[in-house]
A and B are shown apart, each in its own frame.
Chain A
Amino acid sequence: QRHSQQDSHVQYERVGADVTMKCGSMDWDAAVTWTANGTDIDESHLNGSYLILKNVGLSQSGQYFCYEGSSWHLKYQTNLRVGTPPKEPVLMCRSNNYPKGFYCSWHLPTPTYIPNFFNISVIHGTKDMVCEKDSPPKNRCHIKYLQLFSTVKYKVTLTVTNALGKNFTTLTFDEFAIVKPDPPESVVAKPVPNNPRRLEVSWQNPSSWPDPESFPLKFFLRYRPLILDQWQHVELSDGTSHTITDAYAGKEYIIQVAAKDSDIGTWSDWSVAVHATPWTEEPKHLTTEAQITETTSVSTSSFMAPPTTKICDKGAMVGS
């Protein structure tokens, strides 16, 4: 019957390292038994009472116990965590709620398999700024602008530390360079009754943009029929709606919108795509006799282009 008694702790080792574990205070030549995650370890891994693990891999992480041979007293226990030191973290800062402030988010290019601790410092000129961290596991924090229209750059340094090493990265940027709104929201596209070539598109400012009155956004609309790859674009300096007037009749369209502060920064990502098809005339409901004549005439003309489209309009023919 195995008795737990000895101190246990976490032991971090690098992938590929050679690891030697002593069985607590037991002599080298004492008879012992080692287990890993409850499984006895083969004698070939022992050198006397020492456990030797060569070129450890991630799969060798786990709970290691050493028991005294005869009394089965637990003499040593450790939680072996095999991992890697952190690589240079990837840091990104962005102001999607200008002029309130900006946020920085980060991640490691490759996992380390052991716990990492991040420390971020934000310096503006000579001033240290507070970065309010989101609750884990979100690697993100938020900085409030105290001043606007500054020519002094912001310097953000992110340091990552784990038991096997440390790394850092630094970003230096101007206030205006990181302004990038979120995409417009609630994008809606609707046909316009009795207008086979129009689509009405409307959207809203991103809810994260705090003061569109003082910091108006301009928009970029792109649209294309599903059957074509080429987008059409239109830039709109104000307002949150637009009527497309050159849609191909009867063709389903895909539409997206992007936003940008009217003076500074960069364009948002594209909004969620919406689909719409321009209005088309309802087929008329006729009496039986009229239907027969209608059907004979329809079958001979069903390949004619829609009335509103010019027969020689090459573009339309591509779509029909």
Chain B
Amino acid sequence: LGAGQSIQQTYDLTRYLEHQLRTLAGTYLNYLGPPFNEPDFNPPRMARAERVPSATVDLDLWRGLTDNARLAANYRAYSRLLCYLRVLDGQVGTAELRHRLSHFCASLQGLVLSIGGVMSSLGYPLPAGPVGPPGPPGASAAPNDFLKKMDDFWLLKELQTWLWRSAKDFNRLKKKVPPAVVTLRLEARGF
């Protein structure tokens, strides 16, 4: 699969996940109950929630990212987000929601692999070092149920925002990496 197709596939998977997450997050926030499922809910972000990788980025910096840096940022983010999401998945009380979360985690795992595939096809090394969260997610578990729900709220919101960002990231890459050019480069390296 050429890099161009691989990027397109990753873009499509990102859009699919974004769509899936919209309904899943709605269901999960309803499971958490008020005020978490209220549209104007705007809680402060506690220190623990700051550990979740943030999609927020300076506009000019984002524009100026190299392809490698852009992909690596995505790879690291989803690898960590996946770990947190798996913790969430393990604690959910309803079977139906647990099933949907597991399915989503599997798809998100697919996205991580897909991003890794794009990086390899472009000749970039996968990010070194621990890609999972700093400590086991439960290391500094929330002291009470409400704060635990706050952490979940921010995890889902950050994940949604990452998926929007990634759609723009991969769209940019799609335009910069037409399939034909990449094949030539591969041949030049004697592949």
B144 to chain A, nearest CB (A): 22
Contacts of B161 in A (CB 8 A): 149-151, 176
- Do the beta carbons of B55 and A149 come within 8 Å of each other? yes
> Does A152 lie at the interface of the complex (its beta carbon under 8 Å from any beta carbon of B)?
yes
Q: Using a CB-CB cutoff of 8 Å, which residues 72-122 of chain B contact chain A?
A: none
Contacts of B158 in A (CB 8 A): 151
- Output the residue of B57, B59, B162 with the most chain A CB within 10 A: B59
Complex Cα distance, B175 from A151, in Å, reads 27
- Do the beta carbons of B167 and A262 come within 8 Å of each other? yes
Complex Cα distance, B63 from A213, in Å, reads 12
User: Nearest chain-A residue to B15 (Cβ)?
Assistant: A263
- Do the beta carbons of B157 and A262 come within 8 Å of each other? no
B25 to chain A, nearest CB (A): 12
Contacts of B146 in A (CB 8 A): none
Complex Cα distance, B157 from A149, in Å, reads 11
> Does B140 lie at the interface of the complex (its beta carbon under 8 Å from any beta carbon of A)?
no
Complex Cα distance, B40 from A216, in Å, reads 29
Complex Cα distance, B161 from A215, in Å, reads 15
Complex Cα distance, B165 from A214, in Å, reads 11
> Does A72 lie at the interface of the complex (its beta carbon under 8 Å from any beta carbon of B)?
no
> Does B23 lie at the interface of the complex (its beta carbon under 8 Å from any beta carbon of A)?
no
- The interface-forming segment of A36-44, A86-94, A140-148, A227-235 is A140-148
Choose from B55, B56, B63 the contact partner of A214 (Cβ within 8 Å). B63
Complex Cα distance, B132 from A72, in Å, reads 91
Complex Cα distance, B154 from A99, in Å, reads 23
Contacts of A11 in B (CB 8 A): none
B67 to chain A, nearest CB (A): 13
Contacts of A295 in B (CB 8 A): none
- Do the beta carbons of B154 and A151 come within 8 Å of each other? yes
User: Nearest chain-A residue to B163 (Cβ)?
Assistant: A263
Contacts of A190 in B (CB 8 A): none
- Do the beta carbons of A213 and B175 come within 8 Å of each other? yes
- Do the beta carbons of A146 and B168 come within 8 Å of each other? no
> Does B58 lie at the interface of the complex (its beta carbon under 8 Å from any beta carbon of A)?
yes
- Do the beta carbons of A153 and B164 come within 8 Å of each other? no
Complex Cα distance, B18 from A172, in Å, reads 23
- Contacts known (A149-B164, A176-B164, A263-B15); A216 close to B57, Cβ less than 8 A: no
A: number of interface residues (CB 8 Å): 20
- Contacts known (A214-B63, A263-B164); A149 close to B57, Cβ less than 8 A: yes
- Do the beta carbons of A147 and B167 come within 8 Å of each other? no
B164 to chain A, nearest CB (A): 5
Interface flags for B160-191 (1: CB within 8 Å of A; 0: not) read: 01101101100110010000000000000000
- Do the beta carbons of B59 and A145 come within 8 Å of each other? yes
> Does B148 lie at the interface of the complex (its beta carbon under 8 Å from any beta carbon of A)?
no
User: Nearest chain-A residue to B176 (Cβ)?
Assistant: A213
Contacts of B54 in A (CB 8 A): 151
Contacts of A31 in B (CB 8 A): none
> Does B31 lie at the interface of the complex (its beta carbon under 8 Å from any beta carbon of A)?
no
Complex Cα distance, B58 from A149, in Å, reads 9
User: Nearest chain-B residue to A150 (Cβ)?
Assistant: B56
- Do the beta carbons of B165 and A148 come within 8 Å of each other? yes
B87 to chain A, nearest CB (A): 19
Choose from A147, A213, A262, A264 the contact partner of B57 (Cβ within 8 Å). A147
User: Closest 6 interchain pairs by CB?
Assistant: A149-B55, A149-B165, A263-B167, A150-B56, A151-B157, A153-B42
A residues neighboring B (CB under 8 Å): 99, 145-153, 155, 172, 176, 213-216, 262-264
- What are 30 A-B pairs with beta-carbon distances under 8 A? A146-B58, A147-B56, A147-B57, A147-B58, A147-B59, A148-B56, A148-B57, A148-B165, A149-B55, A149-B56, A149-B57, A149-B62, A149-B162, A149-B164, A149-B165, A150-B55, A150-B161, A151-B45, A151-B55, A151-B157, A152-B45, A152-B56, A172-B40, A176-B164, A213-B175, A215-B168, A216-B171, A263-B15, A263-B164, A264-B164
Beyond A149-B57, A150-B55, A152-B45, 13 additional pairs, beta carbon < 8 A: A146-B58, A146-B59, A148-B62, A150-B161, A151-B56, A151-B154, A151-B158, A155-B42, A215-B168, A215-B171, A216-B171, A262-B167, A263-B15
